Amino acid sequence: MGKHGAKSETERAFNVLIGSCIEMERRKAGLRQVDLAAQAGITSSMLYAYESGGTGCPPYRLRLIAQALGVGVQQLMPENKR
């Protein structure tokens, strides 16, 4: 993190990329945000925050989301979406 807890541009950009990967996999699975959130044991507002990149997704929650989608965590990483 940058000065005074502010996120760096690199961190923000990475959060957006992770979020878009989550959203893409969710849409491929034909799930609504509320459905995936329930399956992953998180709130739909938290899933929205992750998908929009407004909040970074902690690794343990990324694993829960991946499990709910039936994919590996690596499928939710931007490097695999090129």
CA dist 68 and 4 (Å) reads 35
Looking at residue 78, its pLDDT comes to 84
Delimit the domains of the chain by residue range: 8-76
pLDDT band at 79 (very low <50, low <70, confident <90, very high): confident
Residue 38 is given by DSSP the state H
Q: What is the pLDDT of residues 2-43, one digit of tens each?
A: 454 557 999 999 999 999 999 999 999 999 999 999 999 999
Looking at residue 47, its pLDDT comes to 98
Residue 53: is its pLDDT beyond 90? yes
Nearest to 39 by CA among 27, 31, 28: 31
> What does each C-alpha distance from 37 to 16, 22, 27, 34, 79 come to in angstroms?
18, 11, 13, 5, 24
Pick the CATH number of 8-76 from 1.10.260.40, 3.40.50.300, 3.40.718.10, 3.30.950.10: 1.10.260.40
Tokens of 41: 């044991």
Q: Quick one: average pLDDT of 41-54?
A: 96
